[in-house]
């Protein structure tokens, strides 16, 4: 299972990039999954309401799983916060080829960092394991930068680099 993180500040283009990556990887017959960090711990995400599984949760079930043909919806509450490692265990179980992680900036996985504004350049000093940078055309990157970088609109060039350097199996 290959992993890639997409990091950047809000409204930098992370979601759009991930959508493009998922579509292109699916075209290449890769089984892709996305793990998104939800920064609002106390805000509920959209779950079914008024359905049996919601009623089971309200009755106190720690977890519910809904199976519908080729779809599976899982909801589990835990005493402690769920970690990225917990989420990755699920991906392994489902034989995922590539997991794209949005957020979890402090995790050590290979990162694609998106720089949209000048002030976003500080991310380059704060994050580790940056493998590639995507930047918006008005940004001037530091000259001493030793990391591959592409304009955000050069998706095809970026994708080819990503496949050749991070996501494809190397013949050794």
Residue-level pLDDT, tens digit, the chain, 172 residues: 999 999 999 999 999 999 999 999 999 999 999 998 866 555 445 556 657 777 787 787 888 877 878 877 787 887 778 888 888 988 888 889 999 999 888 899 999 999 999 999 999 999 999 999 999 988 888 878 889 999 999 999 999 999 999 988 654 4
The pLDDT assigned to 172 comes to 41
Question: What are the tens digits of pLDDT across the range 106-130?
Answer: 899 999 999 999 999 999 999 999 9
Which residues, at least 6 apart from 114, have a Cβ–Cβ distance to it below 8 Å?
6, 7, 8, 12, 13, 14, 17, 120, 133, 134, 135, 152
Asked whether residue 86 is assigned to any structural domain, the reply reads yes
Asked whether residue 59 is assigned to any structural domain, the reply reads no
Asked whether residue 15 is assigned to any structural domain, the reply reads yes
Asked whether residue 46 is assigned to any structural domain, the reply reads no
The pLDDT assigned to 48 comes to 61
The pLDDT assigned to 140 comes to 83
Asked whether residue 120 is assigned to any structural domain, the reply reads yes
The rounded Cα 134 to chain-centroid distance in angstroms is 15
Asked whether residue 93 is assigned to any structural domain, the reply reads yes
As given in the structure block, the two tokens for residue 123 are: 């991310």
**How many folded domains does the chain comprise?**
1
Asked whether residue 75 is assigned to any structural domain, the reply reads no
pTM score: 0.84
Structural element, H or E, at residue 40: none
The domain of 125 spans 2-40+81-167
The rounded Cα 167 to chain-centroid distance in angstroms is 14
The pLDDT assigned to 47 comes to 57
The pLDDT assigned to 126 comes to 93
Q: What is the CATH number of the domain that holds 158?
A: 3.40.50.300
Asked whether residue 98 is assigned to any structural domain, the reply reads yes
Question: What are the tens digits of pLDDT across the range 125-156?
Answer: 999 999 999 999 888 888 788 899 999 999 99
């Amino acid at each position: 299972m290959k992993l890639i993180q997409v990091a950047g500040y809000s409204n930098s283009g992370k979601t759009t990039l991930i959508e493009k990556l998922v579509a292109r990887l699916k075209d290449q017959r890769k089984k892709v999954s996305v793990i998104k960090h939800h920064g609002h711990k106390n805000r509920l995400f959209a779950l079914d309401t008024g359905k049996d599984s919601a009623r089971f949760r309200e009755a106190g079930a720690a977890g519910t799983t809904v199976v519908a043909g080729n779809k599976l919806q899982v909801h589990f509450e835990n005493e402690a916060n769920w970690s990225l490692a917990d989420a990755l265990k699920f991906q392994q179980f489902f034989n995922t080829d590539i997991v794209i992680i949005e957020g979890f900036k402090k995790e050590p996985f290979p990162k694609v960092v998106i720089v949209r504004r000048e002030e976003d350049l500080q991310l380059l000093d704060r994050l580790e394991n940056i493998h590639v940078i995507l930047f918006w055309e008005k940004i001037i990157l530091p000259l001493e930068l030793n990391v591959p970088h592409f304009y955000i609109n050069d998706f095809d060039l970026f994708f080819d680099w990503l496949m050749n350097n991070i996501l494809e199996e190397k013949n050794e």
